[in-house]
Structure 1
Amino acid sequence: MLKARLYDFSLFFTAIAVAFGLGSFALDKNTFFIALFIYWFFSMLYNHLRITAKSGATKFDYGINYSLSFGIFAGPLGLFIFEAIYRFTVYISKKTSKTADETEFWDMFYNIGAHVLIYSIGYYLFQIGYPLFEGIPFGFWILMCTLALLTILISITFLLTAFHILGEIRNLKEASQFVRQSINWLDLGKTAFTNGLLLLLLEQQQWGMVVALFILNYLVSRSFHSKSQMIKNKIERDKFEQMAYTDFLTGVPNRAFMDKKMSELNQSGETVGIVVADIDKFKLINDSYNHAVGDRVIQHFANTLKTYLSENDYVFRSGGEEFTLILRERAFRETIELVEKIRLGVETSSVEVDYQSSRHDVTITSSFGLYYFKVNQYTSMEKGYIYADQLLLQSKELGKNKVTFKDELAQRAPISAM
Structure 2
Amino acid sequence: MTNRARIFIYILFIAAAALAFWSNRVPLQNTFFIKAVILYWFFSTLYFHLRTMSRKGNVTLDYGMNYSLSFVMFSGPLGILIFESIYRFSNYFYKKITKTADPDEFEHIFYNVGSFVFQNTISYYVFQSLQQYFQAIPFGFWILMFFLATINAVISDTFLTIIFYYLGEIKSREEVFHFFKSRSIPDLGKISFTNGMLFVFLQEGNWEILISFFILNYLVNHSFIEKAQYLQNKLERDQFEQMAYTDFLTGISNRALMDKKMAELNQGNEPIGIVVTDLDKFKIINDTYNHAVGDRVIQHFAATLNSYLNQGDFLFRSGGEEFTLFLRNRDYDQTVAFVEKIRQGVENSQVLAEFNGENVSIPYTASFGLYFYDVTENISMEKGYIYADQLLLQSKQHGRNQLSAKNELIHI
Q: With structure 2 as the length reference, what TM-score do the two structures score?
A: 0.95
**Counterpart in the other structure of 1:416:** none
Distance 2:259 2:248 in 1: 17
Residues 159, 363 of structure 1: alpha-carbon distance in 2 compared, 3 angstrom cutoff: farther
Distance 1:163 1:363 in 2: 55
Distance 2:213 2:383 in 1: 65
Aligned-pair distance for 1:25? 3.0
Distance 2:399 2:205 in 1: 92
Aligned AA (1:167): G
Which is further off, 126-135 or 401-410? 401-410
Q: Deviations over 1:350-391 (max 9, x none)?
A: 222222222222222111111111001641100000111111
Which is further off, 391-400 or 154-163? 154-163
Q: Deviations over 1:209-233 (max 9, x none)?
A: 2111101101111111111111111
**Counterpart in the other structure of 1:414:** none
Distance 2:109 2:360 in 1: 60
1:304-343 → structure 2 map (5 Å cutoff): 304-343=304-343
Is contact 2:266–2:377 with CA below 8 Å preserved after alignment? no
Is contact 1:277–1:369 with CA below 8 Å preserved after alignment? yes
Aligned AA (2:299): Q
1:19-418 → structure 2 map (5 Å cutoff): 19-180=20-181, 182-376=182-376, 378-409=378-409
Which is further off, 402-411 or 102-111? 402-411
Is contact 2:70–2:199 with CA below 8 Å preserved after alignment? yes
Q: Deviations over 1:8-58 (max 9, x none)?
A: 223222222222234533332112111111100000000011111122333
Is contact 1:64–1:187 with CA below 8 Å preserved after alignment? no
Aligned-pair distance for 1:161? 2.4
Distance 1:165 1:364 in 2: 58
Residues 348, 161 of structure 1: alpha-carbon distance in 2 compared, 3 angstrom cutoff: farther
SS in 1 for 2:92: helix
Residues 159, 263 of structure 1: alpha-carbon distance in 2 compared, 3 angstrom cutoff: same
Count residues with an aligned counterpart: 410
Which is further off, 34-43 or 116-125? 116-125
Which is further off, 305-314 or 130-139? 130-139
Residues 86, 390 of structure 1: alpha-carbon distance in 2 compared, 3 angstrom cutoff: same
Q: Which runs of 5+ in 1 are unaligned?
A: 412-418
SS in 2 for 1:359: strand
Residues 286, 11 of structure 1: alpha-carbon distance in 2 compared, 3 angstrom cutoff: farther
Is contact 1:269–1:377 with CA below 8 Å preserved after alignment? no
Residues 318, 186 of structure 1: alpha-carbon distance in 2 compared, 3 angstrom cutoff: same
Residues 55, 127 of structure 1: alpha-carbon distance in 2 compared, 3 angstrom cutoff: same
Aligned-pair distance for 1:71? 1.3
SS in 2 for 1:362: strand
Residues 168, 289 of structure 1: alpha-carbon distance in 2 compared, 3 angstrom cutoff: farther
Q: Percent identity, aligned pairs only?
A: 55
Which is further off, 25-34 or 336-345? 25-34
Q: With structure 1 as the length reference, what TM-score do the two structures score?
A: 0.94
Which is further off, 132-141 or 160-169? 160-169
Which is further off, 348-357 or 325-334? 348-357
SS in 2 for 1:351: strand
Residues 239, 400 of structure 1: alpha-carbon distance in 2 compared, 3 angstrom cutoff: same
Aligned-pair distance for 1:88? 1.0
Q: Deviations over 1:71-109 (max 9, x none)?
A: 111111111111111111111111111222223222222
Q: Deviations over 1:250-273 (max 9, x none)?
A: 111110110001000000111110
Residues 402, 241 of structure 1: alpha-carbon distance in 2 compared, 3 angstrom cutoff: same
Aligned-pair distance for 1:178? 2.9
Distance 2:287 2:10 in 1: 63
SS in 2 for 1:409: coil
Q: Deviations over 1:328-357 (max 9, x none)?
A: 101111111111111121122222222222
Aligned-pair distance for 1:141? 1.0
Residues 212, 277 of structure 1: alpha-carbon distance in 2 compared, 3 angstrom cutoff: same
Distance 2:23 2:352 in 1: 71
Distance 1:49 1:32 in 2: 26
Aligned-pair distance for 1:410? 8.5
Distance 1:99 1:337 in 2: 64
